[in-house]
Amino acid sequence: MLETLDVSRNSLSGPIPAELGHCVNLSVLVLSNLFDPPQTNRNSSGDSLNAAPNEYNYFEGSIPMEITTLPKLRIVWAPRANLEGKLPSNWGSCENLEMLNLAQNLFSGGISSVFERCKKLHFLDLSSNKLTGELDNKLPVPCMTFFDISGNLMSGPIPKFNYSVCSHLPSLIVGVDSAELAYMSFFTCKTRLTAPFPFSGARFVIHNFGGNNFTGPMQWLPIAAERLGKQTDYAFLAGGNKLDGLFPGSLFGKCDGLNGMIVNVSNNKFSGNIPLKIGPMCRSLQFLDASKNQISGSIPQSIGDSRSLVVLDLSGNKLHGQITAGVSHLKHLKRLSLAGNNLTGTIPSSFARLRSLEVLELSSNSLSGEIPKSIANLRNLNVLLINNNKISGQIPSSLASVKSLSTFNASFNNLSGPFPDNLNVMNCSGLIGNPFLSSCPIASLMASSPAKADSNGDSQANPGSATFSPIEIASITSASVIVFVLLALIVLFFYTRKWVPNSRVQVESRAIKVFTDIGVPLTFENIVQATGNFSNSNCIGCGGFGGTYKAEISPGIILAVKRLAVGRFQGDQQLCAEVNTLGRVRHPNLVTLIGFHASETEMFLIYNYLPGGNLENFIKERARRAVEWKILHKIALDIARALAYLHDEKHEESVPRVVHRDVKPSNILLDNDFNAYLSDFGLSRLLGTSETHATTGVAGTFGYVAPEYAMTCRVSEKADVYSYGVVLLELLSDKKALDPSFCSHGNGFNIVSWACMLLRMDQAKEFFTAGLWDAGPHDDLVNTLHLAVTCTGESLSDRPTMKQVVHRLKQLQPSSC
């Protein structure tokens, strides 16, 4: 009689039992769920103690045929569950199947003749697998509210699907019961993934073909008439394929039947001209990304009739002629990218009408004339890129009044005259290649002393010119040998466990591997004794994989011992992650891994103890005492330095680039002098160790996780930049990332939204914690606030690198007197 079965957020392994096929009334089956918020333990006063760990099931094989033939099955939810093999040749008796999510698994082969009987299927996510072959034109894609085949190896054309099978589908607003509602958060996340802003209509349809090897022209829109409507937003996503032929103007034929439309056909091989009447054809167009194609001709004047456009990206094509004045009519436009074309003429002064514009990219064209002074009217402008053109004249001094401007690049032009010393830019590298422009003071200083170290000891030397002393070389070599031996021991340990599962260690190993000599012998016995046998009275913190305990090994020598829960999901991998990362990483603002122990019954890591507690408690206690700006600045700079080091390409081959993935106040520790140290690298190397940008299950903490990471599971260094920006906002204010006071503003409102709102209202003063604004300096505080907001930009390209953040914070260094 079982109707709903949810086993997500566990540590299950092995095959999915075929015996579930006997549950003939089973309607909802949830095997994994990436976006279910972790539960929180709370004490008697309601304060959060620790978040539940992000645990995931790790199944073997595919979904048994016995399950696919269940007659009442409506929902199967199994993203990133390690499923593999081929999809069933025919999805059995699936007349009632409505939602199927098998994203981020290892399925291979084709999907021909798989879902022909699934007449009610309106949600199908097969993204990020290894599927091949061509799409079956019998798939009911036009009828689907959500279809995602992105990130596979599909080939052939995007077919003209069968539009005549939609009569049996429910309406777009599907009635859901309480069991189904629990799994719709993923639906919302996917909606946000496909656009830089939430859909505004009451209904939405998403068809995602991106990131495959589809070829041929695109001559029709894969949406049925039943799915059209003035309350419907539609996203057609086909970027990153090999589609060719003329620019697909036919995609916009049904646009006026929609509330809003999003089109992404970037990174393909489309050629020809943009339709002259694209504006009247598609007045509801909100997002158009046709970048990195071979589109030629000029930008049509009628583009200005698409008054709903928020993002227009035509970069990396072969467009020529002048920038049409029609673009200036797009009053809601936030991002305009025309870089990498053959555009000529001047930058239109009418761009001043684009009051919502945040990003303007015009680089690598043949634009001439002067920078319009009216650009200074764009009060929301964050990024202005006009490099590699033929622009002349002086840089308008009025640009300095654009407080939001964080990135400015006008290099390799014909600019002349003085350099405005009050221009709000990160550095002067954005003005090189202008022979008639007076030299930038900062650039001259850096050029004259490229290897000079700052007062805090941070080397500014060219990375390519680094040299090492014999002692450093010996230290690096020794560390590499230790890590190699350590890895070999760990591999041997798990190898014996795998191939001798029934064996038991007769004599328990109690060895402790020591990385750093502290002058006192470390043994299993004195660690256990110093923690009071891991007594709660010595517990100084709790995390997803275990508690951390204070241990006084000898008078005056205190350590922190992180005890890992043996047998929990990826406990062993967690150990390896921290050992293999922290054992090699050394920086003054990173916690030091002193040693570790691993046995059948006990696992723990030994760190240096920091008596100042964590930044989360520091921020809480700050309400009871005033904190000087120079202390807050020091903490912000220390953490920025640590992250810049982690993200940097190291000279030592044994030291990897690291994405932390869980930057938050509780993972930032302080000593008694307010020196800050970044800790807890377990999440950073737990998953996705081989990619330049990893595709993993979402780790981290809600409120600090970057939007693109939460939506796509793709993480890069820019995800850490976002988290750092949130921490910086908390450090400046008296609010938490998800402060209860934000509830009145509606769902999704957080500290980032609050900061942006106050800046737009010119009420920055209201953001800072009590006493901080009065103590000043006001300009530095506001500039730091702008930097934090820039770090949390929606677009990855808008966020600075951590190295740029460090540079900017040094420019805002408080006076020592």
- By the 10 Å C-beta count (0-12 exposed, 13-18 middle, 19+ buried), 142 is classed as buried
Full residue range of the structural domain in which residue 94 is found:
1-37+48-193
Residue 304 is assigned to a structural domain of this protein: no
Q: Do 546 and 620 share a domain, yes or no? A: no
CA distance 358 to 372: 17
For residue 446, name the pLDDT band (cuts at 50, 70, 90). very low
Residue 359 parent element (H or E): strand 359-361
CA distance 480 to 21: 52
- The catalytic position among 305, 662, 680, 720 is 662
- Which of 620, 614, 700 is CA-nearest to residue 665? 614
Q: Do 712 and 595 share a domain, yes or no? A: no
Residue 600 has pLDDT above 90, yes or no: no
Q: Do 548 and 627 share a domain, yes or no? A: no
The residue out of 152, 178, 193 marking a domain boundary is 193
Helical segments of 294-406, H only: none
What does the pLDDT average to over 126-148? 87
For residue 29, name the pLDDT band (cuts at 50, 70, 90). very high
The residue out of 591, 608, 625 marking a domain boundary is 608
Residue 362 is assigned to a structural domain of this protein: no
Computed over its alpha carbons, how large is the radius of gyration of the chain? 29
Q: Do 711 and 576 share a domain, yes or no? A: no
Give the count of domains, the chain.
Answer: 3
* Range 383-387 contact pairs with CB under 8 angstroms and sequence separation of 24 or more: 383/358, 383/359, 383/407, 383/797, 383/798, 384/360, 384/408, 384/409, 384/410, 385/339, 385/360, 385/361, 385/409, 386/347, 386/360, 386/362, 386/410, 386/413, 387/363, 387/411, 387/412, 387/413, 387/430, 387/433
Residue 789 parent element (H or E): helix 778-791
More confident residue, 310 or 178: 310
Residue 315 has pLDDT above 80, yes or no: yes
pLDDT at 740: 79
Helix and strand counts by DSSP (H, E) for the chain: 17, 42
Least confident range of 36-50, 431-445, 490-504, 777-791 = 36-50
User: Other CB atoms closer than 10 Å to residue 740's CB: what's the count?
Assistant: 8
In this structure, are residues 222 and 142 in contact, taking their beta carbons and an 8 Å threshold? yes
Amino acid at 619: I
CA distance 430 to 740: 41
For residue 640, name the pLDDT band (cuts at 50, 70, 90). very high
Residue 118 is assigned to a structural domain of this protein: yes
- Which of 705, 804, 713 is CA-nearest to residue 752? 705
* Range 503-508 contact pairs with CB under 8 angstroms and sequence separation of 24 or more: 504/600, 505/599, 505/600, 508/599, 508/600, 508/601
Least confident range of 9-13, 326-330, 479-483, 743-747 = 479-483
- Which of 700, 668, 677, 678 is CA-nearest to residue 687? 700
Q: Do 603 and 654 share a domain, yes or no? A: no
What does the pLDDT average to over 679-695? 44
In this structure, are residues 417 and 442 in contact, taking their beta carbons and an 8 Å threshold? no
Amino acid at 630: K
Q: Do 499 and 597 share a domain, yes or no? A: yes
For residue 576, name the pLDDT band (cuts at 50, 70, 90). low
What are 199-218's pLDDT values in tens digits? Answer: 444 477 889 999 999 999 88
Residue 638 is assigned to a structural domain of this protein: yes
- Which of 81, 83, 63 is CA-nearest to residue 73? 63
What does the pLDDT average to over 282-301? 90
pLDDT at 481: 53
| Unique residue bearing structure tokens 């050629």 | 271
CA distance 591 to 614: 12
More confident residue, 270 or 602: 270
- Strands 84-86 and 4-6 turn out to be unpaired
Least confident range of 2-16, 513-527, 555-569 = 555-569
| Unique residue bearing structure tokens 């939001």 | 404
Q: Do 109 and 27 share a domain, yes or no? A: yes
In this structure, are residues 806 and 644 in contact, taking their beta carbons and an 8 Å threshold? yes
Q: Do 185 and 110 share a domain, yes or no? A: yes
pLDDT at 428: 60
Torsion of CA 714, 717, 721, 723, to 10 degrees: 50
* Apex 240 CA angle, 239 and 243, nearest 5: 80
What does the pLDDT average to over 127-149? 87
For residue 439, name the pLDDT band (cuts at 50, 70, 90). low
The residue out of 177, 193, 209 marking a domain boundary is 193
Domain containing 731 — which CATH number? 1.10.510.10
Q: What is the mean pLDDT of the chain?
A: 76
Domain containing 548 — which CATH number? 3.30.200.20
In the chain, what percentage of residues exceed pLDDT 90? 23
Residue 169 has pLDDT above 80, yes or no: no
Residue 720 has pLDDT above 70, yes or no: yes
Q: Do 797 and 705 share a domain, yes or no? A: yes
What does the pLDDT average to over 774-780? 84
Residue 208 is assigned to a structural domain of this protein: no
Which residues are within 8 A (CB) of 537 and not within 5 positions of it... i.e. 6 or more apart?
none
Q: Which residues are annotated as a binding site for ATP?
A: 562
Q: Do 515 and 603 share a domain, yes or no? A: yes
pLDDT at 570: 43
Residue 130 is assigned to a structural domain of this protein: yes
pLDDT at 725: 94
pLDDT at 390: 92
- Which of 146, 227, 131 is CA-nearest to residue 184? 146
For residue 155, name the pLDDT band (cuts at 50, 70, 90). very high
Q: Do 602 and 639 share a domain, yes or no? A: no
CA distance 393 to 413: 10
In this structure, are residues 209 and 238 in contact, taking their beta carbons and an 8 Å threshold? yes
What does the pLDDT average to over 162-189? 43
What are 523-545's pLDDT values in tens digits? Answer: 888 888 888 888 878 888 776 55
- Strands 28-30 and 285-289 turn out to be unpaired
Helical segments of 583-735, H only: 615-622, 629-647, 682-686, 707-712, 717-732
Domain containing 106 — which CATH number? 3.80.10.10
Residue 31 has pLDDT above 80, yes or no: yes
pTM of the model: 0.56
For residue 586, name the pLDDT band (cuts at 50, 70, 90). confident
Residue 192 has pLDDT above 50, yes or no: no
User: Using N-to-C axis directions, what is the helix angle for 802-811 and 629-647, rounded to 10°?
Assistant: 150
What are 268-288's pLDDT values in tens digits? Answer: 999 999 888 888 888 888 899
Residue 289 is assigned to a structural domain of this protein: no
Residue 561 is assigned to a structural domain of this protein: yes
Q: How far is CA 64 from CA 24, 91, 711, in A?
A: 14, 11, 29
Q: Do 639 and 561 share a domain, yes or no? A: no
Determine whether 662 is an active site residue: yes
Amino acid at 114: V
Least confident range of 70-84, 260-274, 735-749 = 735-749
What does the pLDDT average to over 94-119? 85
| Unique residue bearing structure tokens 């299927």 | 121
What does the pLDDT average to over 788-810? 88
